[in-house]
Structure 1
């Protein structure tokens, strides 16, 4: 199975339906349990692990399993025995429950009514998707991942993870789950700001897709269109601040911001508003990229843009020279003349600068940040960070 096939399917599931498609090794019980758990699931319980292991081992490779948990959240699961993989589509809900239904769900799961706010936070993070569409996506995944054009039977399953109050996760764990959901949203928001500021168009749009899933059920106002407009205005404001930090002309920023504010105000269709948000992020990121590029010659600008787009990869002088059709030695010389530093030094400093923004704006660990910006070893990242900013990453954060 080609990894590119899975990535394309994941992108389609996310962009067309707003839902996840993930693959796990059959032995990855922790990963699978994390994917399907709720704030109330006690994943450390022996019964939970045994029941999940038993299900995975005895799954039929020629069936699709439909798991609907105690809160009407759905997952479609299938097995690729040859590759020892389990694939999960979801979570998703067919409709958002009202207050009364949320209370009924808590009672059905033997959970105290005082946990209503935690349940609401969980359900707001679940995207809406019609079950028939999710099934079609599942069958498409089977067709291309297994290279088999067959229609598998769909079988309903129930793990019964919430049968009694004694098997629920501790209150502390429930609250931590809620806080993690909130932190994740703010982390993505700040990563989006960093990507736009650095002119990384592809990365910014990818993060926007993740944000759309994470806030799929989040409501600030009662009316659906007004809620979508609220999100669009918020993105416009965030992009404006990122553009300012990127050095975009204030005149251009004001023109873009005013133009998009007018478009948002006049758009009364949810799908059209999604397209507007996509256009806002794309234009601001592209303008930031052009602003940076204008300071240097075309060849050097092209190299800088390539470096910024591929910062998390292992970049070589030969690869960069090939990208602009120059001899490596000549590229190295003109880069030094214009930037006043070597290409390797520029890459390290750019990685550390991007890491600094993530350290300051997100709750990502130092190890996660180091890997995210392209450092193989955390110790070397810390050493470079300290050299550039006079202190280690954690001290900089505090």
Structure 2
């Protein structure tokens, strides 16, 4: 049977025995709540276990476990794009989505996947909540921040950014300081420290590897910078916080 014939047969069958989907407005309202950082609406939706309700859920697979896997991926894709539209760094959003989808792929039950779905929605929402508390940035600054996030493992210079944005170094520095409130150099250092803290908390990479990954000239330079910014050496920070909050889900930068 050709694809056209199969589709026409399915369309006729479903017309005879209709299976109503959830109203589009309801779905879009949920994605928009995540985008706006509206945690109360997201919590209410998860408390009602809407994700597990078969009524109104499209049948993407005849296997119930596989069906919910597919719906998880759809939700992750939609939330990712809504959050990017809301100002989240694109690479950060895609990385977070990939992380949760890969975790979901190992899930062995509907309840396990539903729990992960809740964690993913809360994680995206909280990140958007923090983002909403900051000013809305211009297109140039959004592209600048995207570049910094995508090249966190490299040594990022003002010249690199100015070439990428086709702006003069002087103008870019002034614009960034006006909109973000700190210099580009300070912003890059803050973001690298955030990444370092998460790697120390949630990974087993040695301190030398983390320093190398974040493109510090040496482990001692990384340690000195980390201790100055955080108030603890990388080793003491790891000893104190290693895998704390693990059960609540990884808080990626």
Q: 1:246 aligns with which of 107, 119, 127?
A: 127
Secondary structure, counterpart of 1:312 in structure 2: coil
Which whole-Å CA distance do the structure 1 matches of 2:117 and 2:212 have between them? 29
Q: 1:372 aligns with which of 184, 205, 213?
A: 213
For the Cα contact (< 8 Å) 1:382–1:393, is it kept in 2?
yes
Secondary structure, counterpart of 1:248 in structure 2: helix
Q: 1:358 aligns with which of 199, 205, 213?
A: 199
Seen in structure 2, the aligned counterparts of structure 1 residues 389 and 242 have a Cα distance that, compared at 3 Å, is: same
Name whichever structure is richer in strand by fraction: 1
Report the CA distance between 1:335 and its aligned residue: 1.2
Unaligned runs of 5+ in 1: 1-195, 220-226, 250-287
**2:158 aligned with 1:317, yes or no?**
yes
TM-score, reference length from structure 2: 0.50
Report the CA distance between 1:303 and its aligned residue: 0.6
Secondary structure, counterpart of 2:167 in structure 1: coil
Name whichever structure is richer in helix by fraction: 2
Which structure has the bigger radius of gyration? 1
For 1:204, the equivalent position in structure 2 comes to 96
Which whole-Å CA distance do the structure 1 matches of 2:216 and 2:196 have between them? 10
Seen in structure 2, the aligned counterparts of structure 1 residues 303 and 370 have a Cα distance that, compared at 3 Å, is: same
TM-score, reference length from structure 1: 0.33
Seen in structure 2, the aligned counterparts of structure 1 residues 378 and 242 have a Cα distance that, compared at 3 Å, is: farther
Query: Aligned residues, how many?
Result: 151
Residues 55-98 of structure 1: CA deviation (Å, up to 9, x unaligned): xxxxxxxxxxxxxxxxxxxxxxxxxxxxxxxxxxxxxxxxxxxx
Report the CA distance between 1:204 and its aligned residue: 2.8
Say which structure, 1 or 2, has more relative contact order (CA 8 Å, 6+ apart). Answer: 2
Correspondence list, 1:68-87, <5 A: none
Report the CA distance between 1:300 and its aligned residue: 1.3
Correspondence list, 1:161-200, <5 A: 199=89, 200=92
Which whole-Å CA distance do the structure 2 matches of 1:232 and 1:367 have between them? 35
**Would you identify which runs of 4 or more consecutive aligned residues in structure 1 move more than 6 Å?**
none
Report the CA distance between 1:331 and its aligned residue: 0.4
For 2:73, the equivalent position in structure 1 comes to none
